[in-house]
Homo-oligomer: A and B are copies of this chain.
Amino acid sequence: MTQNIYDDPNFFRAYAQLPRSMQGLDAAPEFPALRALLPDLNGLDVLDLGCGYGWFCRWARTQGARRVAGVDVSELMLARARSMPTDPAITYAREDLETIKLKRKAYGLVYSSLAFHYLHNLEGLLGEVRSALTPGGRLVFSVEHPIVTAPLQPGWSDAGSGRKSWPVNGYLHEGERSTDWLAKGVIKQHRTIATYVGLLLRQGFRLAHLEEWGPTPQQIAAQPTLAVERERPPFLLIAVE
């Protein structure tokens, strides 16, 4: 099983303070770009892998999704999701994405935000997703960009030039990275873009869209601290069919 850092009380306490925890999708600046990759949700059955507080599950219902299933490994996250106003068309379940078994041909959309980079057995999960999609169904997901996850000591460098840079090393050395994000020793799996794409193509998916997300000029105008994220993209967004 993956390290379940979200059930670490100290991590969870810090995570709960993040804007994207408190305010949901509106505080996730990459969500408009992810949203643009979604199919029409009207009447669709949707699965959210790593649903957290369930922000996306509830939003999908406002877009006409017929049923939404949210799964997450974290009890604390699911408890928070279940504390929100209930909707009988949304179900939450505790599942380990490393070993989860999915219903066959059950979903028109499988969605995942910033969860896959925690997994060892992404290949197994993608095989499940492939079988779980209805014909013409779509997988849309985001992960931390491999430029971000690669370095053994990630962080911005200034180097006196006034322009920030993100020193990259270890990019082709895939595997575990331990970082101190909200808590000490959070474990993520570094994979290259080529590996993400290769895993998907080998499962028989067709690549529909690949995006190295950065904030728009409008977003930077509203929140100037985002500007540095254009020096190197924080997230990788992918849609496959």
Contact = CB atoms under 8 A, between A and B. Distances in A.
Contact of A172 (B153, B159, B230): B230
A70 interface: no
A90 B231 CA distance: 44
Interface in A82-133: none
B207 A168 contact: no
Contacts of A210: 193-194, 197-198
Interface in A152-177: 152-153, 157, 159, 161, 163-173
B147 A168 contact: yes
A201 interface: yes
Given A194-B211, A207-B201, A169 B164 contact: yes
A166 B163 contact: no
A184 interface: no
B231 A170 contact: yes
Interface of A: 147, 150-153, 157, 159, 161, 163-173, 192-194, 197-198, 201, 206-212, 214, 230-233
Given A147-B147, A198-B209, 8 more contacts: A157-B167, A167-B168, A171-B214, A171-B232, A171-B233, A172-B214, A201-B208, A206-B207
